[in-house]
Chain A
Amino acid sequence: MAVRVIDVRERVMAQNDAIAAEVRRRLDDAGVPSLNLMSSPGAGKTLLLERTLADLSSSLRIATIVGDVQTQNDADRLARQTARLVQAVVTGGACHLDARQVSAALDGVDLDDTDLVFVENVGNLVCPASWDLGQTANVVLFAVTEGEDKPLKYPKMFQRSRYAVITKTDLLPYLDFDVRRAIGYLRDVNPDIEILLTSARTGEGLDSWYEILHAHVHAASHIAADAFA
């Protein structure tokens, strides 16, 4: 026996983070912002994107990358709302998207002909928060059919998100969901989080959502233009 120790001290996420940094550089160079949508299954990510594509496809060139554990059902739904390519990523069991999958999906996107990239992550409030995808910002969706205390139960997800989109507000009259309590919990775990109240069914709150999207497109294109100048 000749046992010895090899010092490693390497972060487990180092390779993913390096690929994510490369994705971020590609998007920045092209002046294209990307938003990573995360939530528990069934919170309404796909419906929000369907509405967004239907309402904005004439004014913004939007690329979408859609992750699911199995099936391309969500990608098929979104493809019906846009003439542009919707990239489906079937993770085959993995509970989150990683930077390598997003990088490969972006290879099929003409970034010079794109204003905005959406990444619809796998429905899960735990794992996706640990994987950087090179996104400009994280968006967490949170339906009124869930408990108000979701932010307390899954703090990492809400701490890492810049926006919290409360969805399905059209159902509030039929539920005991206390919006003020939910907002309080959101602020407890992330005082800076921007909160939107939306219903993709009735259109409530979508104007604010679209303003955020346009602001990101505007900011990213100016950053790229300044870097080029």
Chain B
Amino acid sequence: MHEMGVAMEICRITEEHVGTDGARLVTGVAVIVGDDAGVEPSSLEFCLETLFAQPPFGGAAVYITRVSGDALRVDYLEVDDGCPCH
């Protein structure tokens, strides 16, 4: 029920890491969701896709991995630095 709040926190974590790293574009975000995390994975995926449609994400893909237990964390980001020839 609070998936949108969780998704917004995932966006904040993503922006923080991208800002530190200096990458130009986020193309994918991988999230680990435990069965007991109190989060419905398909609802979280929907919220993330909605948020990732906005800048600065530009339609990043969402990769959700389900595990047992109550884990809920951002695992890794896929970023694109753009064409090095420009």
Question: Which A positions have Cβ atoms within 8 angstroms of B?
Answer: 1-13, 15-16, 94-96, 98, 124, 126-127, 129-130, 156
Bound CA–CA A9/B9 (angstroms) = 14
Given A12-B72, A124-B1, check contact A5 B9 (CB 8 Å).
no
Given A2-B81, A15-B9, A94-B5, check contact A8 B17 (CB 8 Å).
yes
**Least Cβ distance of A157 to chain B in Å?**
9
Question: Which of A6, A9, A98 gathers the greatest number of chain B CB atoms within 10 Å?
Answer: A6
Question: Which B positions have Cβ atoms within 8 angstroms of A?
Answer: 1-2, 5-6, 9-10, 12-14, 17-18, 21, 23, 27, 31, 36-39, 71-84
Given A94-B2, A94-B5, check contact A12 B79 (CB 8 Å).
no
B interface, over-half SS? mixed
**A6-B79 in contact (CB<8A):** yes
* A-B contact sample (4 more), CB < 8 A, given A5-B76, A6-B79, A16-B9: A3-B27, A6-B23, A8-B17, A13-B9
Bound CA–CA A13/B75 (angstroms) = 13
Question: Which of A4, A9, A16, A129 gathers the greatest number of chain B CB atoms within 10 Å?
Answer: A4
**Closest residue of chain A to B37, judged by CB?**
A130
**Closest residue of chain A to B36, judged by CB?**
A156
Residues from chain A with Cβ under 8 Å of B83 in the complex: 1-2
Which of A3, A9, A10 lies in contact with B80, CB distance below 8 A? A3
**A96-B2 in contact (CB<8A):** yes
Bound CA–CA A3/B24 (angstroms) = 10
Residues from chain B with Cβ under 8 Å of A156 in the complex: 36, 38
Which of B9, B38, B72 lies in contact with A127, CB distance below 8 A? B38
In the assembled complex, 27 residue pairs joining A and B whose CB atoms fall closer than 8 Å, in A order, are: A2-B82, A3-B79, A3-B80, A4-B78, A4-B81, A6-B77, A6-B78, A8-B14, A8-B74, A8-B76, A9-B75, A10-B13, A10-B17, A12-B6, A12-B31, A12-B72, A12-B73, A12-B74, A94-B2, A96-B2, A98-B5, A124-B1, A126-B1, A127-B38, A130-B38, A130-B39, A156-B38
Given A1-B80, A95-B1, A127-B2, check contact A10 B74 (CB 8 Å).
yes
**B27-A8 in contact (CB<8A):** no
| 4 A-B pairs closest in CB distance | A127-B2, A2-B81, A130-B38, A6-B77
Bound CA–CA A3/B27 (angstroms) = 8
**Least Cβ distance of A9 to chain B in Å?**
6
**B73-A10 in contact (CB<8A):** yes
**Closest residue of chain A to B24, judged by CB?**
A2
**B77-A2 in contact (CB<8A):** no
Bound CA–CA A127/B14 (angstroms) = 23
Bound CA–CA A2/B80 (angstroms) = 5
**B80-A127 in contact (CB<8A):** no
**A8-B77 in contact (CB<8A):** yes
